[in-house]
Structures are given as C-alpha cells and as structure tokens.
Amino acid sequence: MVSPGSSVTDRVRALVAAHRGDRGALLPILHRIQAEFGYVDSDVVPVLAAELNISRADVHGVITFYTDFRSEPAGRTVLKLCRAEACQSVGAEQLVAHAEQVLGIKCGQTTPDGSVTLEQVFCLGNCALGPAGQVNDRVRGRLSPARLDALLTETVNR
C-alpha cells in the first residue's frame, strides 16, 4: 500500500461494499483493511471518508483513537506481553525487560531487520497463568524468560 494505486482504492471500496448493510461499519471495515494490508495507511482515509460519507477528520480520529490500528507495517512476528496487574504479580515487568534486552528494542518498536514487533498489552484474559503473552494472535501462558526465548527462536526462525 506504499503507492496507493487504484487497486488499493478498489479493494477498500469493495470492503466497504461488503459491509454496506452493517450499522456503524467503520470498525469492522478498518479491521478488514488491517487484516489484509497489515496496517491502515493514511491514504485510505479519503477513500473511506468518501465511501461512508463522513469527514476525513472523523475517519482519522477513529483510526488514531484505537491502539489496534497501525499506521505502518508490523514486524513478521508480533509479540505482545501483558503488563497488567495479575501478570505483574508473577513477574511481567521482568519479562518485558528481558524481551526488550534480548530484542534490543523497546515496547512499541520493531527490530531493525523487521522480524519482531514488541508491544505491551493490558490483560489477555489468561490472568491465572501469567505472565501471559500473545505471539501472532496465539495466547501463551506462564512465560518465563527461558520459555519466551524458546518461543521466539521457534517462531522467528520458521
């Protein structure tokens, strides 16, 4: 989606059309765009605004309000680590520090080679088996630094 050719515009229009019958469809549409392109490029804003008959500012406002919507592509593996209270009680902060050190990046960043994006998240609903994390949408539990290292090696090298 780097150069928004007409194909991207067409695709976005098609996604909007697929949700034509849905009430308040902007979020489902944005989820579909992100699932397909990996992020929500600012170039889709005017297309969505025109198709949905709302202002560009409104579309932009929605995209930026929600942390899920990325403005640029993520790494090939997205690692989310829970930093909420229940996971903190079993060492989430140390796990996050370990991940940052091993990957050489901070939460919210992607490794320079584009392999891993590290993000913090507040609760994954796995609070009795913390520290919890999510690797490409798969939830993981009881993540010790060693288990995290093994998981990263396995996922990144695949």
Partner 1 sequence: MTTIYVPRDSAALSLGADEVAAKLRQAAGDRPIQIIRNGSHGMLWLEPLVEVVTERGRIGYGPVEPEAVDDLVAAGLFDGADHELCQGVVADLPWLKDQTRLCFARVGVTDPLDPDDYVAHGGLAGLRKALEKTPEEVVAEVTDSGLRGRGGAGFPAGIKWKTVAGTPGPLKFICCNADEGDSGTFADRMLMEGDPFTLIEGMAIAAYAVGASEGYIYIRSEYPDAVRTMREAIAVARDQGWIGEKAGHRFDLHVRVGAGAYICGEETAMLESLEGKRGMVRAKPPIPAITGLFGKPTVVNNVLTLASVPAILAGGAAAYQELGVERSRGTQVFQLAGNVARGGIFETAFGMTLEKLIHTYGGGTRTGRPVRAVQVGGPLGAYLPADGLDLPMEYEAFAAAGAMLGHGGVVVFDDTVDMGAMARFAMEFCAEESCGKCTPCRVGAVRGVEVIDKIRAGQDPDDNLALLGDLCELMTEGSLCAMGGLTPMPVRSALLHFADDFGPGSPNGGGHR
Interface of this chain with partner 1, residues 53 to 82, rule: CB under 8 A:
58, 61-62, 65-69
Interface of this chain with partner 1, residues 80 to 99, rule: CB under 8 A:
84-91, 93-94
75 binds, among partner 1, ligand FES, none (CB under 5 to 8 A by kind): none
How many angstroms separate the CA atoms of 108 and 79, rounded? 10
Given candidates 8, 48, 132, 152, which one binds ligand FES under the rule CB under 6 A?
132
Interface of this chain with ligand FES, residues 66 to 105, rule: CB under 6 A:
82, 84, 86-87
Residues 6+ apart with CB under 8 A from 19: 25, 28, 29, 32
**Helical packing angle, 6-18 and 26-37, nearest 10°:** 140
How many angstroms separate the CA atoms of 86 and 79, rounded? 19
CB of 24 to partner 1, least distance (A): 4
Check residue 36 for interaction with partner 1 (CB under 8 A): no
